[in-house]
Structure 1
Amino acid sequence: MPSPESSASTVDAAARTTGYRSPLLALPGAVPAESPDEGVAAHYGNPHAEQRALVEGSGFVDLSHRGVVRIGGKERLSWLHSLLTQHLTELAPHTPTEALLLDPQGRVEHALYVVDDGEATWAHVEPGTAPALVAFLTKMRFLLDVDPQDVTDDYAVVYEADASGPVPAGALVRGPIQLGEAAQGREIFLPRPALSDYAATHSHPAGTWAYEALRIAAHRPRAGLETDERAIPHELDWISTAVHLDKGCYRGQETVARVENLGHPPRRLVFLHLDGTPEHLPAHGDPVELDGRAVGVVTSSARHYELGPIALALVKRTVPVDAQLTAGGVAAGQEVVVSPEAGGNARERLRGR
């Protein structure tokens, strides 16, 4: 893919997109999304039908508000390997992966959705977070042959539910990837000027409401929603997708190793089946309660086309897995995402001797 000519995750990080308005908001029925997805469409008139189409392998989602980072240079993969949680030194071209940038205490700062094209490594990140990520990477260059750039102004991300179609000219594909129950899809790094032409030649646009409902149903965490200033990978099941446990040192690795071998994360991600009687959904940050006592917070919620109202939440590790909870005042049954016994593997092996 040709090089462009120029070159702490929270919900508020979407502030960078203030004033951004995707050209696809001009499509029929488009309703603008709110933070953290402002700038693109929440839906195009029928969120449930849009979900169903994505699951069946048709349609696309405008994710052009997300940040795009490109890292060039011959030493890019070994350098990123030393900074991020994923094993990257032998990443094959066009192989999708995920990685986290942690702070020195092992808390999540950025989640990166990565692919390498053989000449550069590309990643998309949460809206508004690319400048801070690139600033950090630039400080860590030293004398290495690496070149991190924020190319958000040059490239837009689109999720495409069908991974088998032709690749648009000048685009890079990250995929195939699975969005929960959906058919295998892919993400496209598309030259931003081509976004309107792409929409004109592809049918069944879907908004972020549909995309988020499928993400939540798939138990996939999102930086800035499932994370806060204390979040560590074990709490959110990122250990299974974005962390390689058998690699060398990286920033925050001590915390990951300590929890994996000797301890348990203080909180755990749960999936909530919400009572459909109330008309409202619990909001991000609403309390999760057990017998009137706060035991966690809601992180994301949505209306699923089959499951009804659903949510993700972070709760204390000690909350019984079969406890009935309330989330923002709405009755909720929980489904385990992260086990209360997550981590502590070395300790358990010693006990078993």
Structure 2
Amino acid sequence: MTSPLLKRPGAVSAETPDTAIAAHYGEPSQEQRALERGSGWTDRGNRGVVRVTGPDRLSWLHSLTSQFLDGIAPGTATEALVMDAKGHILHHLSAVDDGTSLWAHVEPGTAAELTRFLDSMRFMLRVEVADLSDERAVLTVAGPERAAVLGAAGSALPPGTPVRVADDETDLFLPVDALEAVADALTAAGARPAGMWAYEARRIAAHRPRLGLDTDHRAIAHEMGWIGSAVHLEKGCYPGQETVARVHNLGRPPRRLVMLHLDGTAERLPERGAPVELDGRAVGFVGSSARHFELGPVALGLVKRNIPVDADFTVDGIAAGQEVVVSPDTGANAEITLRRRPG
């Protein structure tokens, strides 16, 4: 679905995988400032939306995902991963339970696959899974004034709209036909339209990876910094738990997430997937990149764990320094005492 908000004045379509929504509305730097210093809304209507209903939904999802969902309080914003048996990440869910249903948004084009997987795991449990990507659109409000703006525009939200209030942003799971009216109400309340360029620059600066852009098929949770936010370390068995526990207790992940500060004299951003090079050899790859209104060009990259934390790189021909996101000492938390036989 192409977002109706692409018809707004100044709207320019974003690039893959976000082509159905706006990259910006004519003033990307001012849009970033609004998200940081005031308030802004971002159309994320291309996100997949999955709803899980039924009395067994939380205990069931608790057994299938990395997050402690059994008994979670209604309205609590959370994240969760669906992994394979080897701990490789298949889906990243941004979720909230409203007391009767759990709502999650996922990367564009992945909701159908997630729904098929969940349906295959239902067995005799009292749950129903629905892909509502064509019926619901995610609108995200961010900035230090977001609460006031949402309060002023609240009457425009259709009754029963699921709302996910995270630490730094609020996601509205809107009916598609309400998207324009709610965006207009938020704008009238003082929130600025902010496209994906602004949103992504803010996300990268906050060290938040995006599945499929900053990961590959081998990525595991420890590498991406999702331990704690999306992986609960004190819960029972779920697919991928063995890898999580092994890395946490006995080893270290083979790679680590970094934020790259790119040379600002370059007139372009690196191609996603381009190698991150140290002294002419590839030591990782680059994921998302953006031009931040204060930090300049930045990106997220995944590099080998043993690369020095003060090393400088070349990324797609562009010089880059690194900012540590995931420590090379992540994992290996077991305290092992060696016992010697007497004398």
With the shorter chain as reference, the TM-score category is over 0.9
Aligned counterpart for 2:181 among listed residues 197, 202, 206: 197
Q: Name the structure 1 match of 2:13.
A: 32
RMSD, aligned CA? 1.2
Give secondary structure in 2 for the equivalent of 1:79: helix
Does residue 144 of the first structure (1) align with residue 130 of the second (2)? no
Q: Measure how far apart 1:240 and its partner are.
A: 2.6
Aligned counterpart for 2:3 among listed residues 16, 22, 27: 22
Q: Measure how far apart 1:153 and its partner are.
A: 1.4
CA contact (8 A) 1:304 1:310 kept: yes
Q: Name the structure 1 match of 2:84.
A: 103
Q: Name the structure 2 match of 1:209.
A: 197
Q: Name the structure 2 match of 1:241.
A: 229
Q: Measure how far apart 1:327 and its partner are.
A: 1.1
CA contact (8 A) 1:289 1:325 kept: yes
* Cα distance per residue 1:167-204 (max 9 Å; x no partner): 312311100431xxxxxx31100111101112222221
Distance 2:286 2:72 in 1: 35
Give secondary structure in 2 for the equivalent of 1:134: helix
Distance 1:202 1:92 in 2: 28
Q: Measure how far apart 1:323 and its partner are.
A: 0.5
Give secondary structure in 2 for the equivalent of 1:177: coil
Q: Measure how far apart 1:226 and its partner are.
A: 1.2
Q: Name the structure 2 match of 1:174.
A: 164
TM-score, normalized by length of structure 2? 0.93
Does residue 267 of the first structure (1) align with residue 255 of the second (2)? yes
**Alignment: residue pair count:** 326
CA contact (8 A) 1:163 1:176 kept: no
Q: Name the structure 2 match of 1:126.
A: 107
Superposition misfits of 4+ residues, deviation over 6 angstroms: none
Q: Name the structure 1 match of 2:96.
A: 115
* Cα distance per residue 1:131-155 (max 9 Å; x no partner): 0000000000000001111011111
One-letter amino acid of the structure 2 residue matched with residue 34 of structure 1: E
Distance 1:163 1:81 in 2: 30
* Cα distance per residue 1:64-105 (max 9 Å; x no partner): 000000000000000000000000002100010000000111
Larger CA Rg, structure 1 vs 2: 2
Distance 1:240 1:144 in 2: 28
Change (3 A) 1:352 1:309: farther
One-letter amino acid of the structure 2 residue matched with residue 198 of structure 1: V
Unpaired segments ≥5 residues, structure 1? 1-19, 179-184
Distance 1:111 1:255 in 2: 17
Q: Measure how far apart 1:270 and its partner are.
A: 0.4
* Cα distance per residue 1:240-280 (max 9 Å; x no partner): 31000010000111011001011110110001111101101
CA contact (8 A) 1:163 1:175 kept: no
One-letter amino acid of the structure 2 residue matched with residue 214 of structure 1: R
Unpaired segments ≥5 residues, structure 2? none
Q: Name the structure 2 match of 1:7.
A: none
Q: Name the structure 2 match of 1:350.
A: 336
Q: Measure how far apart 1:337 and its partner are.
A: 0.6
* Cα distance per residue 1:285-334 (max 9 Å; x no partner): 01100011110000111000000000100001111000111111111111
TM-score, normalized by length of structure 1? 0.90
One-letter amino acid of the structure 2 residue matched with residue 120 of structure 1: S
Distance 1:261 1:176 in 2: 29
Distance 1:38 1:46 in 2: 18
Distance 2:337 2:255 in 1: 23
Distance 1:329 1:240 in 2: 35
Aligned counterpart for 1:79 among listed residues 39, 52, 60: 60
Q: Measure how far apart 1:351 and its partner are.
A: 5.5
Distance 2:170 2:117 in 1: 28
Q: Name the structure 1 match of 2:265.
A: 277
98-107 vs 159-168, greater mean Cα deviation: 159-168
